Amino acid sequence: MAVMWALSFVVPLLVAATIAALSLGAGEARTRARELVVQYAWLAVVPTGIVASLDDGALKTVDWMLFGTAIRLDEVGRPLVLLAVILYGIALAFVPRSISERPAGLNGFLLLCFTANVGVFVAANLVTFYLVFAAMSFLGYAIVVHDRTTSARRAGAVYLVMTVFGESAVLGAFLLIASEGVTDVLDVPAAVAASDARDVIVALLIIGFGVKAGTIPLHVWLPLAHPAAPSPASAVLSGVMLKAGIIGLLRFLPLGEGAAEPLWGGLLVTLALVGGLLAAVVGVLHDNPKVILAYSSIGQMGFITALIGAALLEPAIAPAAIAAAVVYSVAHGLIKGALFFSIQVWDLSRAPTWAVVVPQTVAALGLAGAPLTAGFIAKYVSKESLGDVALPGLPVVALADLLPWFAVGSTVLLARFAIAMSRRSRRRTAGKPISTTAWAVLALAAAAPVWWLATGFAPPLTVPGWFSPGPVVDQSWPFLLGIALALAAAALARRPRFRDARLLHPRGDIVPEGDVVVLLERATGGTMRGVIRASGVLGATRDALVERVRRGPSPMPTVSGVQARLGTWVVSGALAVAALAGALLFVVLAGGGG
């Protein structure tokens, strides 16, 4: 088992290193060898898939690495690892024919991200987690900025700034946790619950992992990064990398331990609800399908964060909430990945339009939570896991009743996505049938693994039957309401009176991508300029002080003046001799002793 794990980490690293080595020189043979490696790079994820399916869940340690590295595959990690294997595998297969240039570089970095991402899901102690989390975050920069356009570089810069702050917060939290004497991840929630610095730790964890998970107001990098990155990279970003933030919250927050946390739980839930609303409202004002999907991800991540917040509010529901969060993450990952891949398939594949639209529609329905889809199962499971939890300030409204409104927002967003996609032209330049088929299978069959997963978690989770009327009605009304709203908006937009209304025909110019990011950019720019100016001022002050000291009152003129006058004073010689004589006399008379 340990050997298999070593292989599963080493193989992608080796393939990436091979790609790097083959890129260094020039020459026909090298380029062709590199293309071959890039074509089959997706095979590198297979060892991980195998070991994740077969592993027994025991702790495996490497004592000589860093401060002692340890991994363990538990029931929270396993589904996510398998999700990563599927999405990264398809992404690696999609890259060689994608629109972006330099597929070799993209594949290399995707492989590295894959290793780090899987590491996040299996890390068993604090240092290991921080290692892979930081690695994944900074490698993410490489895939966001891959196309090197101006917008990609801007997205990359915003991503980096947010990541640095997130990493620092996580580091601070981890140091505080480590000082409690805990290293194993399984012991952390109890230690945090019992710690004196609990509030500080929880705050830092929420900030640090919130950046990754797209929690408002730390979500600003998401809508910039997704359109800038190539489609396979966006798929992986939304599908798997955001889940790293979720697993951070799941592993390290004191869920189910000790007393409830009304403050933090309430905060998380509020942020999640606001995020869901914001995502829907701002997302429909955009035109670029990737941006719309990005805002959809923000909303969906908010949904999962709401589950976590509820677990903080009511520790009794924690096991069910955690399980529901995992199920929802897997469902969202599979479907969102499929939707992002579908953009590339639409653009490049030579398959007929109906063959692309059908899986796309099925996936979209899944996201909205229509019956018979993965989303249906995930949303039902989540709703049931919440029980009667309510917001601290509003005991009347049960959280479980607020969640379906997320589905309304998702449906509206997906309707907008459909419109945006329909306006997009199909270039049909390249496309391998095999990878397109793999994508279609992913989109159509996403419900199966999710249902299997949900039933695997059975004790804390109540899984819906496929055709039981109660759940179907419960899940259908938000979806139908969303469709109704979308149709109403479309009908309104067609009326001649509103032909030119910007609000009804949004082209992404009402709210900029990343909404608040413009303010943040200005603030950061201002701060940087201020700090640089302060630094310059410090330097100038120091130099001025040194100059003042150097040019200060010099005794030299006085001394030279005195010297000159003494030197030319005729009497000075005689005085010197007299003084000498006096001293000698004194010495002789005083007896010379003592």
Partner 1 sequence: MTTLQLFMYAGAFILVLGVAATLLVRDLIRRLIALNVASGGVMLLLLALADRGDGEPDPVPQALVLTGIVVMAAVTGIAIVLARRVEQLDDDLEEVEQ
Partner 2 sequence: MNDDTVTVMSALPVVLLLTSLVPALLIFALREKQTVLRTTLNLAGAIAKVVLVIVLIPRVVAGEELRAEFTWIPGLDIVFVTDTFSLFFVALSAGLWLATTIYAVGYLEGSPNRSRFFGFFSLCVTATVGIALAGNLLTFLIFFELLTLVTYPLVAHRGTRAALRGARIYLAYTLGGGVALLLGVAWLTLEVGPVEFRAGGIPEVAEFAARDPLTATVIGAVLLLGVGVKAALFPLHGWLPIAMVAPAPVSALLHAVAVVKAGAFGIIRIVEDVFGLALFAELGMLQALAVVASVTIVYGSVRALAQDDLKKRLAYSTVSQVSYIALGAALLSPIATAGAIVHMVNQGFMKITLFFCAGLFAEELKLSKVSQLAGVGRRMPVTSAAFTIAALGMIGLPPFAGFISKWALGLGGLDAGQPWVIAVLLTSTVLNAAYFLPIIATIWTSPRSESEGSDEGTFPAPARRSGWEAPASLLLPAVATALFVILFGVAAGWDYSPWVLAQIVGEGAWP
- The residue ranges that bind partner 2 (CB under 8 A) are 24-26, 63-68, 127, 130-131, 134-135, 138, 145, 148, 152-153, 156-157, 160, 164-165, 167-168, 171-172, 175-176, 178-179, 528, 531-536, 538-539, 542, 546
Least separation in angstroms between residue 161's CB and partner 2 is 9
* Residue 555 or 573 with smaller CB distance to partner 1: 555
Can you spell out the DSSP letters for 62-111? ETTSTT-EEE---TTHHHHHHHHHHHHHHHHHHGGGSSSS-HHHHHHHHH
By the rule CB under 8 A, 556 interacts with partner 1: yes
Can you spell out the DSSP letters for 336-358? HHHHHHHHHHHHH--S-HHHHHH
* Residue 518 or 583 with smaller CB distance to partner 1: 583
Number of C-alpha atoms within 13 angstroms, CB side, residue 168? 5
Which of partner 2, partner 1, none lies near 559, with the C-beta cut-off 5 to 8 A by kind? partner 1
Which of partner 1, partner 2, none lies near 168, with the C-beta cut-off 5 to 8 A by kind? partner 2
By the rule CB under 8 A, 557 interacts with partner 1: no
Residues numbered 495-554 forming contacts with partner 1, rule: CB under 8 A:
554
* Residue 573 or 594 with smaller CB distance to partner 1: 594
Which of partner 1, partner 2, none lies near 153, with the C-beta cut-off 5 to 8 A by kind? partner 2
User: Which residue is listed with tokens 């080796």?
Assistant: 14
* Residue 224 or 463 with smaller CB distance to partner 2: 224
Which of partner 2, partner 1, none lies near 555, with the C-beta cut-off 5 to 8 A by kind? partner 1
Q: In Å, how far from its chain's centre is CA 583? A: 87
Q: Residues 469, 555, 567, 573: which binds partner 1 (CB under 8 A)?
A: 555
DSSP state of 390: E
Stretch that binds partner 1, among 44-52, 243-251, 283-291, 585-593 (CB under 8 A): 585-593
Structure tokens at 138: 């900074």
Q: Residues 21, 528, 559, 580: which binds partner 1 (CB under 8 A)?
A: 559
Residue 125: what are its φ and ψ, rounded to 5°? -135, 170
Least separation in angstroms between residue 533's CB and partner 1 is 38
By the rule CB under 8 A, 593 interacts with partner 1: yes
* Residue 28 or 500 with smaller CB distance to partner 2: 28
Q: Residues 459, 496, 573, 592: which binds partner 1 (CB under 8 A)?
A: 592
Distance separating the N- and C-terminal Cα atoms of the chain: 90
Which of partner 2, partner 1, none lies near 63, with the C-beta cut-off 5 to 8 A by kind? partner 2
* Residue 127 or 203 with smaller CB distance to partner 2: 127
Tell me the torsion sign for CA atoms 102, 103, 104, 109: positive
Which of partner 1, partner 2, none lies near 487, with the C-beta cut-off 5 to 8 A by kind? none
* Residue 361 or 524 with smaller CB distance to partner 2: 524
Which of partner 1, partner 2, none lies near 593, with the C-beta cut-off 5 to 8 A by kind? partner 1
Residue 60 parent element (H or E): strand 60-62
Residue 395 parent element (H or E): strand 394-398
Least separation in angstroms between residue 175's CB and partner 2 is 4
Which of partner 2, partner 1, none lies near 175, with the C-beta cut-off 5 to 8 A by kind? partner 2
Least separation in angstroms between residue 44's CB and partner 2 is 20
Going by their DSSP bridges, the two strands 390-391 and 69-71 should be labelled as: unpaired
Least separation in angstroms between residue 562's CB and partner 1 is 12
Distance from C-alpha of 155 to C-alpha of 158, rounded to nearest angstrom: 5
Q: Give the CA-trace dihedral at 364, 367, 370, 375, to 10 degrees.
A: 140
Distance from C-alpha of 472 to C-alpha of 102, rounded to nearest angstrom: 47
For 158, residues 6+ apart whose C-beta sits below 8 A from its C-beta are 220, 221, 224, 225, 514, 517, 520, 521
Distance from C-alpha of 16 to C-alpha of 148, rounded to nearest angstrom: 20
Least separation in angstroms between residue 561's CB and partner 1 is 13
* Residue 175 or 564 with smaller CB distance to partner 2: 175
Count the neighbouring beta carbons within 10 Å of the beta carbon of residue 131: 19
Tell me the torsion sign for CA atoms 245, 329, 360, 409: negative
User: 3-class DSSP state for residue 61?
Assistant: strand
H helices, E strands: number in the chain:
25, 4
Distance from C-alpha of 290 to C-alpha of 281, rounded to nearest angstrom: 16
Distance from C-alpha of 206 to C-alpha of 76, rounded to nearest angstrom: 19
* Residue 159 or 340 with smaller CB distance to partner 2: 159
Which of partner 2, partner 1, none lies near 99, with the C-beta cut-off 5 to 8 A by kind? none
* Residue 56 or 63 with smaller CB distance to partner 2: 63
Which of partner 1, partner 2, none lies near 148, with the C-beta cut-off 5 to 8 A by kind? partner 2
* Residue 425 or 554 with smaller CB distance to partner 1: 554
Least separation in angstroms between residue 145's CB and partner 2 is 5
Least separation in angstroms between residue 557's CB and partner 1 is 11
Tell me the torsion sign for CA atoms 417, 418, 423, 427: positive
By the rule CB under 8 A, 594 interacts with partner 1: yes
Structure tokens at 227: 């359109």
Nearest by Cα to 94 from 85, 83, 106: 106
* Residue 209 or 376 with smaller CB distance to partner 2: 209
Which of partner 2, partner 1, none lies near 556, with the C-beta cut-off 5 to 8 A by kind? partner 1
* Residue 528 or 587 with smaller CB distance to partner 1: 587
By the rule CB under 8 A, 568 interacts with partner 1: no
Going by their DSSP bridges, the two strands 394-398 and 390-391 should be labelled as: antiparallel
Residues numbered 362-391 forming contacts with partner 1, rule: CB under 8 A:
none
Residue 397 parent element (H or E): strand 394-398
Stretch that binds partner 1, among 129-137, 403-411, 483-491, 582-590 (CB under 8 A): 582-590
* Residue 149 or 560 with smaller CB distance to partner 1: 560
Query: CA distances (Å), 261 to each of 12, 93, 219, in order?
Result: 41, 45, 24
Distance from C-alpha of 294 to C-alpha of 424, rounded to nearest angstrom: 17
Which of partner 1, partner 2, none lies near 542, with the C-beta cut-off 5 to 8 A by kind? partner 2
Is residue 337 a contact partner of residue 87, using CB atoms and an 8 Å limit? yes
Which positions lie near partner 1, rule CB under 8 A? Answer: 554-556, 559, 583, 586-587, 590, 592-594
